[in-house]
Amino acid sequence: MAKELKDRALQTRIPSALDDRLSLIAKANRKSKSAVVLEALEAAVAQAGNDRESLLAKLRERHREEERTLGFLDED
């Protein structure tokens, strides 16, 4: 059980390359990493035309595609 929890925790961590990039962006802009992530999310919402349902639909579709790719879902 503990090994499973550890494996799951490792899978949810930010990959080190992405974390390093976030650190560089944050340092260059004199902001925290969380502020950089929040700004990126806000920009994604704005780019989606502030249409919450449209954004959620895109995220759900991407999630389904990833599950299909990983073999969790059958092809439609």
Predicted TM-score (pTM) above 0.75:
no
Residue that is written with structure tokens 């249409």 in the block: 51
**Domain limits, the chain:** 2-70
Taking only the tens place, the pLDDT of each residue in 16-69 is 777 788 888 888 888 888 888 888 877 777 776 657 777 778 878 887 887 777
Half-sphere exposure in the Cβ direction for 59 (13 Å, CA): 10
**Maximum pairwise Cα distance, the chain:** 46
d(CA 58, CA 6) in angstroms, rounded, equals 30
Q: Is the dihedral of CA 45, 29, 15, 2 positive or negative?
A: negative
